Amino acid sequence: MNIEELRDYCLAKPAVTEGFPFGEDTLVFKVGEKIFLITSLGQPSFNVKCDPEKAVELREQFNEVKPGYHMNKKHWNTVRTDGLLTNTQLRDMIDHSYDLILKSLPKKLQAEIAGE
C-alpha cells in the first residue's frame, strides 16, 4: 500500500479529516478530532491504535508490526507497509483503529457520524 492508497482509504471513511499538526512530513488522520492513524511521508509505515491484547498478538504474528514508535506502546502499533502484509491485512488494522476511536467518541457524535 503506497501513500496515495493509504490516504484514499482513510479519507473514504465517514467524518475523517487529515492534517499536518506535527510538521510537513507527518500526515495525521482523525475522526471526531481524535487521531486514528499517523504516517510519515518519508517512511513506508504508519501508526495505528489497537486493542492492547490484539496489539501483542499482531506483533507476535507479523515482523512488520512493532510497538508504536513515539506512541503509547500498549495502545499503538507501527506497521510497515513494504513487507509481507497484504493490503487487506493493512486495511483491517486501519479499520480496527478507526473503530476504536469512533467508539470512544461521545454517543451523540457517533450518531452524527453514522448519519442517524
Residue tagged 507527518 (cell numbers): 26
With contact defined as beta carbons under 8 Å apart, do 50 and 100 qualify? yes
High-pLDDT (> 70) share of the chain, %: 99
Per the DSSP assignment, residues forming a β-bridge with 77 are 48, 67
The CATH number linked to 108 is 3.90.1150.30
Q: Judge whether residue 72 has pLDDT over 90.
A: no
Crossing angle of helices 87-104 and 107-114, in 10° steps, is 130
Instruction: Indicate the average pLDDT of the chain.
Output: 94
Residue 42 confidence (pLDDT): 87
pLDDT tens-digit profile of 6-60? 999 999 999 999 999 999 999 999 999 999 999 999 889 999 999 999 999 999 9
Residue 56 belongs to what domain range?
Answer: 3-114
Q: Are strands 26-31 and 16-19 parallel, antiparallel or unpaired?
A: antiparallel
User: Which has more pLDDT, 116 or 41?
Assistant: 41
* Three-state secondary-structure class, residue 44: coil
Residue 116 confidence (pLDDT): 67
User: Is the whole-model pTM more than 0.85?
Assistant: yes
Q: Let me know the angle formed at the C-alpha of 9 by 90 and 104, rounded to the nearest 5 degrees.
A: 80
Phi, psi of 79 (to 5 degrees): -120, 120
The set of cell numbers assigned to 27 is 500526515
Domains identified in the chain, total number: 1
